[in-house]
Amino acid sequence: MSAFHAICPACGKSLYLESNREDIYVCPFCGRSVTFSELMASGNLIDVDRAKTEYGRAHEYFSRGEFQSAEKCFGKVREIDKNNFFAEYFYRLSGIRHLRQTGKLCGAEFIVELIEAPLAKMSNTDQPDQIKRGFLLHAFAEVESLINALYETIDNLFSKADEVSNGRKEFLSMARDCRRLTLLDRKTAMLDDKEIASHLIVLCNTVMKGLQSVVAYKFTEGRINIPDATKCEEARAYFGVYYHFVRSLDAEYKPSYPEHIYKENSQYNKLAENEVEKYGSECVDHSSRLCESGARLTDMLYHCRSAFDYTYNTIFGSLGVRSGSSAGGELLKDAVFFARELVMPRVYKGADGQLVFDSADIITLRDICRKLNLICAELEKTDKAGLNAELEDMYSDIYDLARYHYTEVIQSAKREFSDIRILKNKQYFFCRNFLYGIVCSSVIALTQSVSYVAPRSGERIKLLRLGKQAAEDLLYLFNFKTEEIEKAAKFADLTKIYGFINTDLKAIS
């Protein structure tokens, strides 16, 4: 009587059999009957001595860093013993390390197979749990290390401005491939073992960091790269999958704080703030309250809008975090600062020498205020007094500027209103445009725009009253003909704004 190892041709389980070679053997797992000759013919008979010899040679090559030769020898062991999960693991690891030796990037798909393929074979063996646990600890630690190295490689390789989009694609691809790790059989992979699970948690956290980069604005080489909306949607979906999976392993888990994303955002904000300060010192006559129009103004407002959208996306678009951190709090204040610059009217001399009262158009205001409302709601939790003061200052500054020019320009022209609305001369069109600019400047004070109402709302009311006064002057110039107003696309919102102003004044006065 002799003993031999085999693999059941029906269920694939490893068998240890003791009997005469003429006997019929029954698989204890699936009940399939098979003869020795059938096992030999189907290649399911294991030559244990040969497998050990090849395995020993393979490890010698592996320990010397000769990974290509090691891969070949481990491949032979796989052919001899199809359920040798150690050989399966080192075969794949040798291939990965050989690729790295030749300077080639190994994708997440191959790294995932490094744990996935051996696990499938391990489930077919009756190796003691202690041996399986030791293997899993080693394998998961290696996979964790390889995914972390892949993350660093992608981050460094696609750091230039023209390559940022490709980096986002690679991080998203990494998340797609690593998704299979969240589907591993929990019992086979021993994920209830905290030490084993810890490696998978760190690995998933690295993948989630990559997803955070997919949705983040990127400021590099003096340029902002905005993420693709479709990729952002996919990244958010994957982030949710990983988050809930890791929480199933550790109920106290919280995603890592994307410090580098906040840091890059702050760097751009500093640049934009410098542009605002430079413009204010070089292009604004504070005594006449006039500014310089043209490229300098356009460029400054571009930086403000870019910084505002960038900051808003970082605070509310960053995956897994909000503004509870100190960095988030500073970014909230930055966002309010840039919003203020964007809604602040600018008064300058036009090409014909006449004054232009230039306020943000209603569509732009609505978009800014939609975001500003969320920012106010968040800032109220951490610095309500500071928020109140900031909004009061904003309303006050807009009112002071608008009131100054309203008094200087419109009050002096009012005695001619009756004539110019009949003549519809150059002064008529000038006054109409100037008044509409003042009306638009007051839109920021509407609760329809900024829903947050500070306890002390005097400055807001003053701005609304000025907007009401300007709107009534403008309605007078139109002879209160609403159909004529609606025909002029620029002034189509006038009657609606006027109604909102009256409603707000009654409500908050």
Res. 422: pLDDT tops 60: yes
Which residue did the predictor score with more confidence, 324 or 86? 86
| Least-confidence region, from 313-327, 341-355, 470-484, 494-508 | 313-327
Q: Would strands 14-19 and 2-7 be described as parallel, antiparallel, or unpaired? A: antiparallel
Task: Write out pLDDT tens, residues 201-249.
Answer: 999 999 999 999 999 999 888 889 999 999 999 999 999 999 999 999 9
Res. 1: pLDDT tops 70: no
Whose CA is closest to 317, among 421, 170, 392, 215?
215
| Least-confidence region, from 5-9, 39-43, 157-161 | 39-43
Task: Write out pLDDT tens, residues 32-62.
Answer: 888 888 888 777 888 888 989 999 999 999 9
| Least-confidence region, from 10-19, 289-298, 402-411, 444-453 | 10-19
Q: What is the pLDDT of residue 105?
A: 78
Task: Write out pLDDT tens, residues 388-399.
Answer: 999 999 999 999
Please, are residues 265 and 310 in contact by the beta-carbon 8 Å criterion? yes
**Which residue intervals of 344-457 are DSSP H helices?**
362-405, 411-413, 417-423, 426-442
Whose CA is closest to 505, among 469, 480, 473, 475?
469
Please, are residues 336 and 392 in contact by the beta-carbon 8 Å criterion? no
The average pLDDT across 285-299 equals 95
Res. 384: pLDDT tops 50: yes
pLDDT tier at 382, thresholds 50, 70, 90:
confident
Res. 185: pLDDT tops 50: yes
pLDDT tier at 323, thresholds 50, 70, 90:
very low
- Residue 346, SS3 per DSSP: strand
